[in-house]
Structure 1
Amino acid sequence: MYNDLISFIKNWYKTDEYIPLHEPRFDETDKKYLLDAVDSTFVSSVGKYVDQFERGVSTYLGVKRAVATVNGTAALQVALRLAGVKKGDEVITQPLTFIATANAIAYNRATPIFVDVNRETLGLCPDALDNFLRNNAQERGGKTFNKISGKQISAVVPMHTFGHPCKMSQIKNIAQKWNISVVEDAAESLGSKLSDKHCGTYGELGVLSFNGNKIVTCGGGGAIVTNNDSLADMAKHLTTTAKVAHPWEYVHDEIGYNYRMPNLNAALANAQIGKLDVFLADKRDLANSYKDFFSTREWGEFFNEPSQCRSNYWLNAVITKDRYGRDTLLKATNNAGVMTRPVWQLISDLDMYKNCQKGDLKNARWLQERIVNLPSSARINEQG
């Protein structure tokens, strides 16, 4: 039943070799930038490419500032701290996400609360968020507290799953009503837009990832983005070990982190981001072709971008009819040398987070039983 899908994918990538889920694309420009960074001898966290990359990211997204970090998880950890999350607080997020979303909360010695996603976006559901807060929260002195635990709920972290934008306007309005900060996990959604506004720019703070499997990669790498200069300055300070500027003295005024992006990685990132629009165009072509393919198949429905959105289609997804359909598709494709994968196990079910408070997660569980991610690499090498 799945041979036609396997043939379609192999024909798209013009190979009978193993096809990975999402591999990076490099060319001579990437090598040139890397060699220039090596020749400069500035390969650590000081160098022109770090500053250049930060300017490039902020310009692309239309925000004032971007602060480059060693990876997206570090960016989210620091962004949550900047948003006011402290030891003993609680942070609302979604269970259908990569583990880093919850881990970054835990790194701040806070506790995640898991609220359901919706099927239209795969991301945090505004109705579920609203219902949870109305039933479980109370406001005291301009802050929101959990009536069950007594702890402060200080932030909410929506994540744009596979690059598909959450309903950010509704989420932001609910958060403002409850005086809760919004920190946007846009790790997977560089280039995605909701109503012509880039993902990562709706909250006071947003975070990006440039991991090896992302559209733009520098091996690792992340960024904190914001329109708040004070927060950006503090982000840069904290991620540079909280070192006070001085020509020679080593003075650190608080506990910071060695989280700045190295110049070597930033050189590669600069080369990559210059090709972002080409990557996005090719990935949209692939998504449209998948959409056409699945329009005549009853065993799976292609997940299309939500309304009023332009997704980057970082990872394409098909929704099968049930768990059996998911598992048989995974087995057939992977046995044929075409890498597919299920969505993550729900974070709320993992041992370290299973005792956290959660709402009704019926949509997340329904999706977990049915989602299969399909090969989604761009074909930039064909285009020169």
Structure 2
Amino acid sequence: MSEIMHPQSAVHNTQALIAMIREHYQSEDFIPLHAPCLGQPEKQTLNTCIDSTFVSSVGQFVTELEQRFIDYTGARHAVAVVNGTMGLFLALKVAGVESDDLVLTQSLSFVATANAIKMLQADPLFLDVDSMSYGLSADTLENFLNEQACQKDGMCVHKQTGKVIRACVPMHTLGFVAEMDRIVEICQRHGIKVIEDAAESLGSFYQGQHSGTFGEMGVFSFNGNKILTTGGGGMLVTDDAELASHAKHLSTTAKIPHAWLFEHDEIGYNLRMPNLNAALGVAQFDRLPGFLQEKATLAASYRHFLSQQSDLTMMQGLASAQPNYWLNGLILPDQASRDVFLQQANEAGIQTRPLWTPMHQLEIYRDCLRCELPQTEWLAERVVNLPSGVKCHG
């Protein structure tokens, strides 16, 4: 275990890092964690959308954004939705997750991952994360399934409760991709569907393949603090034409196509991304390569700077992965040092934040099944996110 950082060391390291961040952003004003970069290209595309009058869930920009996503990620199909949370809900729904099912996922995640599972009245079962990828641990997953699950009537069943383990949702933490080849292979062996929570990982690759394209489906987020934003929005991707068609059908109230009749053949949902949001995303897509390059440069600067400081290291991810560096993660020696750093940085006008409170520590999920979670708790006590946005010039 790391020793507690001496207060004077904490002050020195924080002040040095604050100076480095201000020099990078060339600003003495408040520096946010990750502000969107919006300017004339976005305004022009939005005006085109407004002039077309197609501002809701039908329009050229929704289709164009889906195609841009297909071309970029290598997925065969893409379905634009209102946000990442509802994208996960749709993916779980079309994957066959039902009430009382169990869905394996990680406790170290934004709450949307678990919330999407609960929307279907299924239950998350929390597994630990890996010390190198920061996403779902393949070792923990394999050990859990070998020891606590069995096959019954062609389904994977949890021995203790008798519930079906229907799906597994690894989340690519801060844009660092989980060990997806192993996770997919393990789940396939046990008959479990894999749905990637790729909300934070647009532009991240593992072994040369884009995140979100390893499992049956992957879901991305375009919230205002993501690398590419549509204000609110998300994208479900898959190589399975039937799953894509079903997801799109459900996202458009399950309406049977007809020139004027309104007939619906399933309980559907109004979850299609509006054309106005998609227009913003299309303009943002042109900027994506530049965003990713600037973020990689900033991450390298952080690593170089912190290599000269004591007691501070950066999250780096697997050697076989290329993260998008959505949010840079600083690892401090312990929780006390983390809290000192957070207070000093934020008081100095540098927005920093800890990782999310692990799901199993939230009152709403305390009673969910879980394994031992030592790495989850270790990271949650020590990691601070540093400003990671691009310098936007319009």
Alignment of 1:138-157 (within 5 A): 138-157=150-169
1:284–1:312 CA contact under 8 A, matched in 2: yes
State the alpha-carbon separation in 2 of the partners of residues 143 and 298 from structure 1. 51
State the match for 2:302 in structure 1.
290
Question: Cα distance, 1:380 vs. partner?
Answer: 4.0
Question: Cα distance, 1:298 vs. partner?
Answer: 1.5
State the alpha-carbon separation in 1 of the partners of residues 368 and 97 from structure 2. 17
State the match for 1:339 in structure 2.
351
State the match for 1:162 in structure 2.
174
> Would you say 1:225 and 2:242 are equivalent positions?
no
Question: Cα distance, 1:369 vs. partner?
Answer: 0.6
Question: Cα distance, 1:131 vs. partner?
Answer: 1.1
How does the TM-score come out when normalised to structure 2?
0.96
> Would you say 1:206 and 2:218 are equivalent positions?
yes
- SS of residue in 1 equivalent to 2:294: helix
Percentage identity across paired residues of the two chains: 47
Question: Cα distance, 1:204 vs. partner?
Answer: 1.0
Letter of the structure 2 residue corresponding to residue 52 of structure 1: E
1:299–1:325 CA contact under 8 A, matched in 2: no
- SS of residue in 1 equivalent to 2:219: strand
Alignment of 1:1-384 (within 5 A): 1=12, 2-381=14-393
Question: Cα distance, 1:305 vs. partner?
Answer: 3.1
- In structure 1, runs of 5+ residues without a counterpart are none
Question: Cα distance, 1:73 vs. partner?
Answer: 0.3
2:134–2:317 CA contact under 8 A, matched in 1: no
1:67–1:236 CA contact under 8 A, matched in 2: yes
State the match for 2:5 in structure 1.
none
Letter of the structure 1 residue corresponding to residue 78 of structure 2: A
State the alpha-carbon separation in 2 of the partners of residues 213 and 15 from structure 1. 20
1:340–1:372 CA contact under 8 A, matched in 2: yes
Question: Cα distance, 1:64 vs. partner?
Answer: 0.9
1:53–1:270 CA contact under 8 A, matched in 2: yes
State the alpha-carbon separation in 2 of the partners of residues 366 and 260 from structure 1. 39
- In structure 2, runs of 5+ residues without a counterpart are 1-11
State the alpha-carbon separation in 2 of the partners of residues 17 and 122 from structure 1. 32
- SS of residue in 1 equivalent to 2:18: helix
Question: Cα distance, 1:299 vs. partner?
Answer: 2.2
State the alpha-carbon separation in 2 of the partners of residues 16 and 167 from structure 1. 40
**Superposition RMSD in Å:** 0.8
- SS of residue in 1 equivalent to 2:363: coil
For residues 142-195 of structure 1, what are the alpha-carbon distances to aligned partners after superposition, in whole Å with 9 as ceiling and x for unaligned? 210111111100000000000000000010111011000000010000000001
Question: Cα distance, 1:268 vs. partner?
Answer: 0.2
For residues 42-86 of structure 1, what are the alpha-carbon distances to aligned partners after superposition, in whole Å with 9 as ceiling and x for unaligned? 000000000000000011001111000000000000001111111
For residues 279-324 of structure 1, what are the alpha-carbon distances to aligned partners after superposition, in whole Å with 9 as ceiling and x for unaligned? 0000000000000011011121111132111100000001000011
Letter of the structure 2 residue corresponding to residue 373 of structure 1: N
How many residues are treated as equivalent by the alignment?
Answer: 382
- SS of residue in 2 equivalent to 1:135: helix
State the alpha-carbon separation in 1 of the partners of residues 131 and 340 from structure 2. 22
Letter of the structure 1 residue corresponding to residue 160 of structure 2: I
Letter of the structure 2 residue corresponding to residue 99 of structure 1: V
**Displaced runs of 4+ in structure 1, greater than 3 A?**
none
Of stretches 270-279 and 133-142 in structure 1, the one that deviates more from structure 2 is 133-142
Letter of the structure 2 residue corresponding to residue 224 of structure 1: L
How does the TM-score come out when normalised to structure 1?
0.98
